[in-house]
Chains A and B, each alone.
Chain A
Amino acid sequence: MTYSEETLIAYADGELDAAARAALEAAMAADPQLAQRVARHRALRARVQAAFAPVLEEPLPERLLASVRAAAAGPHAGSVVALQPRARARWSWPEWTAIAASLLAGALLGPPLLRPGAGASLVDTSGGRVVAGGALARALAGQLASSQPAGAPVAIGISFRSRAGAYCRTFSLSEAGGFAGLACHEQNAWRIETLARAEPAPAGNGYRPAASALPPAVAGTVAELIAGEPLDAAAESAARARGWMR
């Protein structure tokens, strides 16, 4: 059997399947000229690889490390929808209305998640408060960080007790254009403390975002409100069992 150059190259590049590989190796054993052709291709690959291998050992230039660490300025600064780390004052109603309106008119209206039939909207502004609604409210009440359903529209991050004694939970909305926020349980509802644009959370692989992965606006509010450490899985489960009552 004669072998095309492309087949020999594919062999040198590790691209032949087991059967083709075995057949070629048997042929090479019987045909030194064929073996020589293959050796040429393998030698070239090894030589090209070797020429660039030392780059891996070079110290990393500081400017590249700096660009990895660089705060994402500019475009990211503009994408925080809501709240800076807050001062003591609660958000006033007009501010909340503006935030909620921008959410409802913007990214949150687009996704299938929020179209009619998919359930209530994620943010409910009725009754003079901004509280979680629909799938967000259900996730905050029932979803544990340790066992997130695959493909869930809402991912729960950390849960903790606030200094005021309320249970609070961070969340991210994977399919709503990427929002993350913090809600605290208050008067039988989840009052939304912070909401900011974020990278979409990956759905369904059990990844649990750490507080450090939250948008700065959310992480700042967590740092401001948290009393002690976040709840571990057992405490989280126990709090859910008590309906998040203090």
Chain B
Amino acid sequence: MPTDRLREELVTLLPRLRRFARALARNPQDADDLVQTAVERALLHAGQLREAAPLAAWLYGILRNAWIDEQRARARRGRLFAAVDSGEQVADATHAAPADSLAVQDALGRLPDEQRLAVALVLIEGLSYKEAAHLMEVPIGTLTSRLARARETLQAILGDTGIAQR
């Protein structure tokens, strides 16, 4: 895809990329860092994208890889600077959001990475099982069992207030 076209498409997809990143990262600042990394990598590799390929899925994949890289780097740093890192986490949880929103984000943050990714792709971004499994490079059965376990954990943390409101 020509880079100029990609730039236009990127601007329209930025809100969705930010939402996806927000579900993965620990705070909005880290989330936007991920989006920025993904945008830079996408522009660098614009030539790899065929015109017909679904652009959003390609970008989700780039963002997911950037997130995994970041998780690994963080794990390495964490071994060296554990105290500093946990302090940073507390200090960053300051953005304003409705209480339930925060509760859900907190619960999501307690899921294992692979389950959080599955929830972000299917429940939040609305991808089909097939698309999400392809993007995560796992069989559909693996995806659905991750989703089932994630839902169980979320339900246990959050309770059933969602139903009571309905």
Interface residues of B in 36-91 (CB under 8 A from A): 36, 39-40, 43-44, 46-47, 50-52
B-chain residues with CB within 8 Å of residue A26 when the two chains form the complex = none
The answer to whether A52 has its CB under 8 Å from any CB of chain B is yes
Decide: A213 and B19 in contact? CB cutoff 8 A: no
Decide: A68 and B14 in contact? CB cutoff 8 A: yes
Decide: A202 and B123 in contact? CB cutoff 8 A: no
The answer to whether A46 has its CB under 8 Å from any CB of chain B is yes
Decide: A54 and B97 in contact? CB cutoff 8 A: yes
The answer to whether A224 has its CB under 8 Å from any CB of chain B is no
Report Cα–Cα, A46/B166, bound state, in Å. Answer: 11
Give the number of A-B contacts (CB < 8 Å).
133
Interface residues of B in 110-140 (CB under 8 A from A): 119, 122-124, 126, 128-129
The answer to whether B92 has its CB under 8 Å from any CB of chain A is no
Decide: B151 and A52 in contact? CB cutoff 8 A: no
The answer to whether A65 has its CB under 8 Å from any CB of chain B is yes
- Summarize A's interface: helix, strand, loop or mixed: helix
A-chain residues with CB within 8 Å of residue B2 when the two chains form the complex = 198-199, 201, 209, 213
A-chain residues with CB within 8 Å of residue B44 when the two chains form the complex = 72, 75-76
The answer to whether A51 has its CB under 8 Å from any CB of chain B is yes
Report Cα–Cα, A31/B101, bound state, in Å. Answer: 32
Interface residues of A in 227-241 (CB under 8 A from B): none
Q: Of B47, B122, B123, B128, which contacts A200 at CB under 8 A?
A: B47
Decide: B123 and A15 in contact? CB cutoff 8 A: no
- Summarize B's interface: helix, strand, loop or mixed: helix
0/1 interface trace, chain A 54-85, chain B, CB 8 Å (1 if under): 11111011011101111010011000000000
A63-B32, A199-B3 known; A51+B101 contact, CB < 8 A: yes
A-chain residues with CB within 8 Å of residue B100 when the two chains form the complex = 47, 50-51
Q: Of B50, B104, B126, which contacts A47 at CB under 8 A?
A: B104
The answer to whether A10 has its CB under 8 Å from any CB of chain B is yes
Nearest Cβ distance between residue B148 and chain A, in whole angstroms? 6
Decide: A44 and B155 in contact? CB cutoff 8 A: yes
A51-B100, A61-B32, A202-B52 known; A5+B4 contact, CB < 8 A: no
7 smallest CB-CB distances across A and B, nearest first, come from: A202-B51, A213-B2, A51-B104, A43-B162, A199-B47, A47-B162, A55-B19
Chain B residues engaging chain A, CB cutoff 8 angstroms: 1-5, 7, 10-11, 14-16, 18-19, 22-23, 32, 35-36, 39-40, 43-44, 46-47, 50-52, 97-98, 100-101, 103-105, 108, 119, 122-124, 126, 128-129, 144-145, 147-148, 151, 154-155, 158, 160, 162-163, 166
Chain A residues engaging chain B, CB cutoff 8 angstroms: 5-6, 9-10, 13-15, 39-41, 43-58, 60-61, 63-65, 67-70, 72, 75-76, 178, 198-202, 205, 207, 209-210, 212-213
